[in-house]
């Protein structure tokens, strides 16, 4: 049985037995080149649920308290490895009620970066065919509306965050959809090579680089809205108008402050899922700043967000042995 079949089976069972009010998963949008979140309330509708290497959405985002659900709503949610870490981070802080959720874990072999493919064509993509199973092998074939077909090595079109993923299998789930994904040879410490160039800059150079990177930010809040661990929905200083604590002016320095506030709010909780990067309409590499903060926290506390449900959040613990820098 495939992972997709397992997801449908678990969803139908949970809905049919009344264990959940609805299940959040993924479904195809207008064609097979695009996947969107799905909210399934009827066991007869579970066949719309899909699993494939285009299922990039972190569905834990929809567990935020802003959802217009009754207080006693019971929700089923599908999670990949990185998604499960965001869920664990929220459970650790009691921001999600464990008793009211049913978690379907989905082993993940890597997610295709649709933007990388879009940049190869002037025409609209209407179909993306991918290999079954381990998506790091084989070819991805794209078909456009005008009939153009082109193949890409799967490894070349994966999300950048997938290349450094240490947890392809969910770290927490009630039921697991199919066999586990192939685990990488997990090094004793995370790989921070993606931010090595940034770390090599002087303080002034880092400041200039960040201002340059965030200069194109249009302050649309897409990154914050999509972030599953950014939870101060109606009380964030970035949204405050009375008083206005963060300037609404759009400019390099103001934009950097806006993003620094977001970074500080999710410090110690961000699992590097990349949802912010994928949401950004101007393709700012927001991942960079959050990865840098994660490295600082790891260097000081040896803490990786959301990897153990029985672990307390890093900023709720004090250990006299912690290293706070030189």
Express each pLDDT in 151-160 by its tens digit.
999 989 999 9
For residues 283 and 304, what is the distance between their CA atoms, to the nearest angstrom?
Answer: 26
Express each pLDDT in 183-217 by its tens digit.
777 777 889 999 999 999 999 999 999 999 999 99
Whether residue 88 is predicted with pLDDT greater than 90 in this model: the reply is yes
* CB-based burial label for 188 (10 Å; 0-12, 13-18, 19+): exposed
Express each pLDDT in 270-294 by its tens digit.
999 999 999 999 999 998 899 999 9
- What is the residue extent of each domain of the chain? 3-110+160-176, 114-157, 193-316
pTM beyond 0.85? yes
Band (pLDDT 50/70/90 cuts) for residue 65 is low
């Amino acid at each position: 049985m495939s992972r997709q079949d397992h997801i449908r089976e678990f969803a139908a069972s949970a809905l049919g037995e009344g264990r959940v009010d609805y299940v959040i998963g993924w479904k195809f949008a207008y064609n097979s080149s695009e996947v969107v979140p799905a909210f399934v309330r009827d066991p007869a509708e579970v066949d719309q649920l899909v699993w494939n290497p285009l299922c990039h959405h972190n569905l834990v985002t929809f567990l935020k308290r802003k959802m217009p659900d009754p207080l006693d709503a019971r929700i089923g949610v599908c999670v990949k490895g990185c998604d499960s870490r965001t869920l664990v981070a929220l459970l650790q802080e009691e921001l999600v009620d464990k008793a009211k959720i049913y978690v379907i874990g989905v082993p993940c072999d890597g997610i295709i970066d649709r933007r990388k493919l879009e940049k190869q064509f002037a025409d609209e993509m209407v179909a993306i065919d991918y290999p079954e199973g381990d998506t790091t092998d084989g070819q991805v074939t794209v078909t456009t509306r005008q009939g153009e077909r082109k193949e890409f090595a799967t490894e070349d079109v994966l999300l950048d965050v997938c290349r450094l993923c240490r947890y392809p299998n969910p770290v927490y789930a009630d039921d697991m959809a199919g066999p586990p994904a192939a685990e990488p040879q997990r090094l004793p410490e995370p790989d921070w090579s993606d931010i090595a160039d940034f770390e090599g800059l002087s303080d002034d150079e880092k400041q200039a680089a960040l201002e340059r990177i965030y200069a194109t930010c249009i302050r649309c809040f897409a990154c914050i809205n999509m972030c599953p661990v950014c939870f101060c929905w109606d009380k964030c200083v970035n949204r405050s108008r009375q008083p206005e604590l963060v300037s609404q002016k759009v400019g390099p320095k103001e934009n950097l402050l806006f993003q620094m506030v977001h970074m500080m709010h999710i410090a110690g909780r961000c699992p590097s899922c990349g949802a912010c990067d994928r949401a950004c309409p101007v393709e700012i590499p927001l991942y960079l700043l959050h990865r840098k903060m994660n490295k600082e926290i790891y260097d000081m506390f040896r803490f990786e967000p959301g990897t153990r449900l029985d672990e307390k959040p890093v900023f709720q613990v004090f250990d006299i042995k912690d290293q706070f820098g030189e």
